[in-house]
A and B are shown apart, each in its own frame.
Chain A
Amino acid sequence: MRVGVVSYPGACDDRDAMHAVALMGAEPVRLWHADPDLGGVDAVIIPGGFSYGDYLRPGALAALSPVMQGVRAHAAAGRPVLGICNGFQVLTEAGLVPGVLRPNASLKFRCHDVALTIERESPWLPGCSEGDELTIPMKHHDGCWFADAAQVAELEARGQVLLRYRENPNGSVGSVACVTSAEGNVAALMPHPEHAVERLVGSTDGRVLLQGLLDLAGVAAPA
């Protein structure tokens, strides 16, 4: 099982994502923003950071980078993609998940653990049931997810909302924390599952989403 992690200029969580992938028993593969070839990886993580300095809009320039040609093809083939923080912003700007991320309503950078309520059972959340909670750290300035009322109603009806904030930290519409593509194989969230994988530094709830990524890629990682 090989999991590609995209490195952009300005990405800062790519190494943590690769470390987390290795902890989960899979092989991390660094992918370079300027190379559209994903080298046949089974799954892709678009990690957090400030790609291209967050110029124009967060994620907007990264969404136009060559590697996204490969990511689009990978996603179109039904293979899984997980976007984390800046990765969520990149995937919205690329049109691979719905909505857009705007500055937090408070205009403050928020950095703390956040409780997420599981909206529905999903292959992305193995072993979890509706109403369960995960505690995962978040750290962002532009995490206010927005979509208009008609689009939100459509997403809710299709079951594309996987997680909600228990207490809304950034002004996201409907307290939405994690959405998927219509097909379900692309998921994205602002909190950082890759920072919540080792008991030494706090919660290990992030493992759930990483296991979901590996499960969706077709091979379960060793327990």
Chain B
Amino acid sequence: MKVTVLVRPRDGILDPQGEAVRRSLAGLGYPAADVRAGKVFDLDVDADDAEGARRIADEIAGKVLSNPLIEQYQVEVAG
């Protein structure tokens, strides 16, 4: 079962990488006011159904793929 996990900096956490990209975009003249840099993980999870895949991916995302002190995650199961 194909699952995508999106990991982003938590709201309110300074993201120096996103800020550096924002400054470069501003230098190029793009009107991008706020940039946050995150990560995408595509997984193929062995599960019987979408609910099972989501449960497994949720655990992986919370325990390994993100650090809850600074990051939040979102799990998307392919339909």
- A interface list, Cβ under 8 A from B: 56-57, 60, 64, 93, 99-100, 102-107, 146-148, 171
Q: Determine which of A56, A148, A171 lies in contact with B69 in the assembled complex, contact meaning CB atoms within 8 Å.
A: A148
Give the CA-CA distance A99 to B16 in the complex, in Å: 18
Given A60-B64, A64-B64, is A107 in contact with B69 using a C-beta cutoff of 8 Å? Answer: no
CB interface residues, B 47-75, toward A, < 8 Å: 64-65, 67, 69-70
Q: Is the Cβ of B14 less than 8 Å from the Cβ of A57? A: no
Q: Is the Cβ of A107 less than 8 Å from the Cβ of B20? A: yes
Q: In the A-B complex, list the 9 residue pairs whose CB atoms are closest, starting with the nearest.
A: A100-B69, A107-B16, A100-B67, A103-B16, A100-B70, A105-B16, A107-B20, A57-B67, A146-B70
Give the CA-CA distance A103 to B17 in the complex, in Å: 8
- Produce 1/0 per residue, B12-41, CB < 8 A to A: 011011001000000000000000000000
Which of chain A's residues has its CB closest to B65's CB? Answer: A56
Q: Is the Cβ of B67 less than 8 Å from the Cβ of A93? A: yes
Q: Is the Cβ of A107 less than 8 Å from the Cβ of B67? A: no
The majority secondary structure among interface residues of chain A is: loop
- B interface list, Cβ under 8 A from A: 13-14, 16-17, 20, 64-65, 67, 69-70
Q: Determine which of A56, A105, A147 lies in contact with B14 in the assembled complex, contact meaning CB atoms within 8 Å.
A: A105
Collect the chain B residues with CB atoms within 8 Å of residue A103's CB: 16-17
Known: A56-B65, A100-B69, A107-B20; 6 extra A-B contacts, CB below 8 A, are: A57-B67, A60-B67, A100-B67, A105-B16, A106-B16, A146-B70
Q: Determine which of A57, A93, A100, A104 lies in contact with B16 in the assembled complex, contact meaning CB atoms within 8 Å.
A: A104
B68–chain A nearest beta-carbon distance, Å: 9
Give the CA-CA distance A93 to B70 in the complex, in Å: 12
Give the CA-CA distance A100 to B65 in the complex, in Å: 14
Give the CA-CA distance A147 to B67 in the complex, in Å: 12
